[in-house]
Chain A
Amino acid sequence: CITVDAPDKPIVIELNINITQEVIYRLATDVQQNIDDNPEIF
Chain B
Amino acid sequence: MATQAEIEDPISERPRRRVGCWVLLALAALLSLGVLIAWISREDLADSLISSELAKRGIQATYEIESISGHREVLRNVVVGDPKRPDLTIERAEVTIGYGLWLPRIESVRVVRPRLFGTYIDGKLSFGALDPLLFEGEKRAFEFPDMRLTLIDGRALIEGDYGPVGLKLDGKGHLQGGFKGELGAMAPRLAVPGCSPVRATLYGTVAIEGRRPAFKGPLRLGAVSCPDQQLQLARAGFQVDVRADEAFQVFEGQLGLDVGATRFAATQLSGLTGTSRFTWRDNGLTARYELAGSGLASSQAVAARLELDGSLRARRNFERIEIETQVDGSGVGLGSGLDGTLADAAKSAGDTLLGPLVEQVRRQLASHQGGNRLVADVTVRRTGDRTSVVVPDAYLRGRDGATLLSLSRFQYATGGTEAVRLAGNFSTGGAGFPRIAGRMEQDPKGGFELRLSMAEYAVGSSRLAIPQLALTRRQNGTVGFAGQIIASGALPGGRAERLLMPVSGNWSPSAGLALWHDCTELRFEALQVANLTFGRHRLTLCPARGTPIVRFGSGGLRVAAGAPSLQLAGRLGETPISIRSGAIGFAYPGAISAKQVLVSLGPAATASTFAISDLSAQVDKDIAGKFTGADIRLSAVQLDLLGAEGNWRYADGRMTIGDARFQLVDRINPARFEPLSAEEAGLALIDNRITAETVLREPKSGREVARVDLVHNLNSGRGNAELAVVGLVFDSALQPLDLTRRAEGVIALAKGTVTGTGRIDWDEQGITSSGRFTSESLDFAAAFGPVKGASGTVEFTDLLGLTTAPSQSIRVASINPGIEINDGEIRFALHNGEILGVEGGSWPFLGGTLRLQPVEIRFGVPEERRYVLEIEGLDASRFVERMELNNMAATGTFDGTVPLVFDTLGNGRVEGGLLTSRPPGGNVSYVGELTYEDLGAVANLAFDALRSLDYRQMRVQMDGSLTGEIVTRVRLDGVSQGVGAKKNLITNAIAGLPIRVDVNIRAPFYQLIGVSRSLYDPAAIRDPREIGLIDAQGKPIEPRSNGTPSVPEPPKDPIADEAVIQRRESEEMP
Asked if the two chains touch in their complex, CB atoms less than 8 Å apart, one says yes
Q: Which residues of B contact A4 (CB under 8 A)?
A: 989-990
B1020: interface (CB < 8 Å)? no
Contact of A19 with B1039 in the complex, beta carbons under 8 Å: no
Q: Count residues of B near A (Cβ-Cβ below 8 Å).
A: 40
Q: Is B230 an interface residue (CB 8 A)?
A: no
| Chain A, range 1-39, C-beta contacts under 8 Å to B | 4, 6-7, 9-29
Please state if B1039 and A25 are interface contacts (CB–CB under 8 Å). yes
Residues 987-1033 of B at the A interface (beta carbon under 8 Å): 989-990, 992-1004, 1007-1008, 1011, 1022, 1026-1029
Quick check: A6 and B994 within 8 Å, CB to CB? yes
In the complex, A17 Cα to B999 Cα: how many Å? Answer: 7
* Other-chain residue from B941, B973, B1001, B1027 in contact with A19 (beta carbon distance below 8 A): B1001
Please state if B1000 and A6 are interface contacts (CB–CB under 8 Å): no
Q: How far is the CB of A37 from chain B (nearest CB, A)?
A: 14
Whether the pair B997, A13 counts as a contact (CB closer than 8 A) is yes
The interface-forming segment of B180-188, B408-416, B1042-1050 is B1042-1050
A-side contacts of B1007, CB under 8 Å: 19-21
Q: Which stretch from B585-593, B879-887, B896-904, B1051-1059 is at the chain A interface?
A: B1051-1059
Inter-chain contact A26/B1028, CB cutoff 8 Å: yes
Q: Shortest beta-carbon distance, B442 to chain A, in Å? A: 96
A17-B999, A19-B1007, A20-B1002 known, 9 other contacts, Cβ within 8 Å:
A6-B994, A16-B1002, A17-B1002, A17-B1053, A18-B1002, A21-B1007, A22-B1029, A24-B1045, A26-B1026
In the bound complex, CA of A24 to CA of B1055 (Å): 22
Report how many residues on chain A are interfacial, defined by Cβ distance under 8 Å: 24
Flag if A16 contacts B996 (CB, 8 Å): no
Given the known interface contacts A10-B973, A20-B1007, the answer about A15 and B1028 at a Cβ–Cβ threshold of 8 Å is no
A18 to B1022, CA, bound (A): 20
Cβ–Cβ contact B1053 & A7, under 8 A: no
Could you write out 12 A-B pairs with CB less than 8 Å apart?
A6-B993, A10-B973, A11-B994, A13-B942, A15-B999, A16-B1000, A18-B1002, A18-B1051, A19-B1004, A26-B1026, A26-B1029, A29-B1026
Name the one of B941, B965, B998, B1050 contacting A14, with C-beta atoms under 8 angstroms.
B998
A33, chain B: closest CB distance, angstroms: 11
Q: Is the CB of A20 within 8 A of B989?
A: no
Q: Which residue of chain A has its CB nearest to the CB of B1001?
A: A17
Closest to A7 in B: B993
| Residue ID in chain A nearest B1053 by CB atoms | A18
CB nearest neighbor in A for B974: A10
Q: How far apart are B995's CB and chain A's nearest CB, in angstroms?
A: 5
Residue contact B997 to A16, C-beta cutoff 8 Å: no
The distance from the CB of A32 to the nearest CB of chain B, in whole angstroms, is: 11
Measured between C-beta atoms, what is the minimum distance from B976 to chain A in Å?
Answer: 11
- Report the bound CA distance from A21 to B1011 in whole Å: 9
Whether B993 lies near A19 (C-beta < 8 A) is no
Which residues of chain B have C-beta atoms less than 8 A from A10's C-beta?
973, 993-996
Give Cα distance in the complex from A22 to B1036, angstroms.
Answer: 13
Which A residues are in CB contact (< 8 Å) with B1003? 17-20
Against A, the Cβ 8 Å flags (1 = close, 0 = not) of B113-140 are: 0000000000000000000000000000
B996/A11 in contact, CB under 8 A: yes
Contact with A along B766-793 (1 / 0, CB 8 A): 0000000000000000000000000000
* B103 contacts A by Cβ under 8 Å: no
Task: Determine whether the beta carbon of A15 is less than 8 Å from that of B1056.
Answer: no
Which residues of B pack against A, CB within 8 Å? 938-939, 941-942, 945, 965, 973, 989-990, 992-1004, 1007-1008, 1011, 1022, 1026-1029, 1037, 1039, 1044-1045, 1047, 1050-1051, 1053, 1055-1056
In the complex formed, the residue of A with least CB distance to B1032 is A29
Contact (A23, B1045) CB under 8 Å given A17-B1002, A18-B1051, A18-B1056:
yes
Shortest C-beta distance, A10 to chain B (Å), equals: 4
Which of A11, A18, A22, A24 has its CB near the most chain B CB atoms (within 10 A)?
A18
Least distance between B951 CB and chain A CB atoms (Å):
12
Contacting residues, chain A, for B998 (C-beta < 8 A): 12-15
A17 — nearest CB in chain B belongs to which residue?
Answer: B1001
Q: Which 7 A-B pairs have the closest CB atoms?
A: A19-B1003, A26-B1027, A10-B994, A18-B1050, A25-B1028, A10-B996, A26-B1028
Q: Taking the nearest CB of chain A, how far is it from the CB of B974, in angstroms?
A: 9
B942 adjacent to A15 (CB under 8 Å): yes
Closest Cβ of chain B: how far from A15's Cβ, in Å?
4
Contacts of B1027 in A (CB 8 A): 25-27
Can you name the residue of chain B whose Cβ is closest to the Cβ of A29?
Answer: B1028
Query: With A15-B999, A25-B1029 as given contacts, are A6 and B942 in contact (CB-CB < 8 Å)?
Result: no
Chain A residue at smallest Cβ distance from B993: A6
**B942: chain A residues within 8 A (beta carbon):** 13, 15
- The answer to whether A16 and B938 have CB atoms under 8 Å apart is no
Q: How far is the CA of A28 from the CA of B1029 in the complex (A)?
A: 10
- A32 to B240: give the CA distance in the assembly, Å: 144
Q: Are B1050 and A13 in contact (CB under 8 A)?
A: no
Q: Are B1029 and A16 in contact (CB under 8 A)?
A: no
**Known interface pairs A13-B945, A26-B1028; A19-B1002 also in contact (CB < 8 Å):** yes
| A20/B1047 contact (C-beta < 8 A), A6-B993, A10-B994, A25-B1028 known | yes
> What residue in chain B is nearest A19 (Cβ atoms)?
B1003
Known: A18-B1056, A20-B1007, A21-B1007. A13 touches B1028 (CB 8 A): no
A11 and B1047 contacting across the interface, CB-CB below 8 Å: no
Q: A12: nearest residue on chain B (CB-CB)? A: B996
Using known A-B contacts A15-B942, A20-B1047, determine if residue A27 contacts B990 with beta carbons closer than 8 Å. no
Contacts of A25 in B (CB 8 A): 1027-1029, 1037, 1039
Query: Which chain A positions have C-beta within 8 A of B1001?
Result: 17-19
Judge whether B1051 and A16 touch: CB under 8 Å.
yes
Given known contacts A17-B1053, A19-B1056, A22-B1039, is B994 in contact with A27 (CB within 8 Å)?
no
Partner of B941, one of A13, A21, A27: A13
Residues of B within 8 Å of A23, CB to CB, are: 1045
Q: How far apart are A40's CB and chain B's nearest CB, in angstroms?
A: 11
Q: Indicate which residue in A7, A19, A27, A28 contacts B1008 across the interface (CB closer than 8 Å).
A: A19
